[in-house]
Amino acid sequence: MLSDSDVIAGEWTMLSLALMLVCSRFYVRLILLKDTPHWADFWVLVAAACGTGLTICDTLIYKAGTMENFSDPGSYTLKVRFLQNYWFDVGMYFPKFSILSFYYELVPPTKPRIRKLLYVLIAFTVACSIVTFLDATFWCRADIASNWSEDPDACSAFNSMTMMRIHWSMNFSTEVFNVIFPFPILRDLKLRKPREKIGLGVIFGLGLLTISVSIGRFINMATQGNNFDAYLWASSELYVSIMVVSLTALRPLLRKISHSVYPNQTATVDQSILQTKSGGLRMETGESRPTGSPHSGLGWRAQSGKTDAEAGSQVELGAESEMSYVIVTEEIQASAAGKPENPTSNEARH
């Protein structure tokens, strides 16, 4: 059986791993992609701050020696536990805001139905977060001080199993919807290799880890109530959410590592491709162009003159599945004297 010191050590270990992944996300954004932080990145920072606050609160309770005391832990511990309602219950929504920001940048205006569905999902998630905040604050109505009263019959949001079930239901439903939402989008992604679409599906499917931990936490709370194991279940769910959201932005970092291990593997990138589609016009001329909607959180570009490990892949959400291509090539002739002649252009249409 785990001791209180084991729980604290486990929490700090998971928090450290989550913070490392958050830092890696910003390394990818700022250093590898040379981009500015997006809203999705800022929400991850807020989630990491909530995770840090939750672990600090558990550490304070550990130092007070009342981690296993749920009957009469004292006013100090009750105040800290009241604060934990915000770090955890409300903090669980910030990783969701991050992934929703990512979806908002991913879905282009040419997909109005999916975009309307995204607006509904955003509104529902925001509403659940507001209800959670208000519940955590006013569960005992205006008598907020009742939450840290030492009277055994006093109202307490931390000890309310009814509030726990309400918050878990909203958190779980938004988690499931966030995991399900992107899979229809994968059908419209134009990727150079099938394995890239599989890789995207795996990244999005990582949300199943959070759902699994959430189910485990609910079973523990429903069968045993507030107990010693609840610390580890709650913190694990928040940390896993932060890790999963951070992992969605690390694909360029994995490509950079792969290129450093296998530097001789290169891929040919077309120098000039003009793609015409009913949903819009896109030109690739060796420059980095955003895909999807403006400021897309994907950040996967194709650049001429770079290896596949450095350049990544071009991703586009098209309005139609059919494409017409115009490939422009240039032929340059040089005279025998070494003087250049006027170049001629040939166009091949397919």
Task: Give CA–CA dist 332/340, Å, rounded.
Answer: 8
Strands 324-331 and 273-277, bridge-based pairing: antiparallel
- Whether residue 268 is predicted with pLDDT greater than 90 in this model: the reply is no
For residue 294, count other CB atoms closer than 10 A to its CB: 8
Contact 221, 276 (CB under 8 A): no
Q: What is the pLDDT of residues 91-110, one digit of tens each?
A: 999 999 999 998 888 888 88
Contacts of 20 (CB under 8 A, 6+ apart): none
Count of C-beta atoms within a 10 Å radius of residue 110: 18
DSSP 8-state code for residue 39: H
Asked whether 220 and 232 are in contact (CB, 8 A), the reply is no
* 269: amino acid identity, one letter: V
What pLDDT, in 10s, does the model give residues 168-223? 999 999 999 998 888 777 666 666 666 666 666 676 677 788 899 999 989 988 88
Condensed to tens digits (0 to 9), the pLDDT of residues 269-288 reads 333 333 333 333 333 333 43
- Of the candidate ranges 109-113, 146-150, 221-225, 332-336, the one whose mean pLDDT is the lowest: 332-336
Closest CA to 309 of 253, 246, 244: 253
Residue keyed to tokens 């010693």: 228
Which among 269, 272, 274, 270 is positioned nearest to 325, based on CA atoms? Answer: 274
Q: How many beta carbons lie within 10 A of that of residue 265, not counting itself? A: 11
Beta bridge partners of 348: 327
pLDDT of residue 190: 66
Decide if 134 contacts 157 (C-beta within 8 A). no
Of residues 200 and 114, which shows the higher confidence score? 114
As given in the structure block, the two tokens for residue 326 are: 């115009």
| Residue 58, CA distances (Å) to 54, 80, 85, 157, 158 in order | 6, 8, 12, 17, 14
- Report whether 173 contacts 127 (CB < 8 A): no
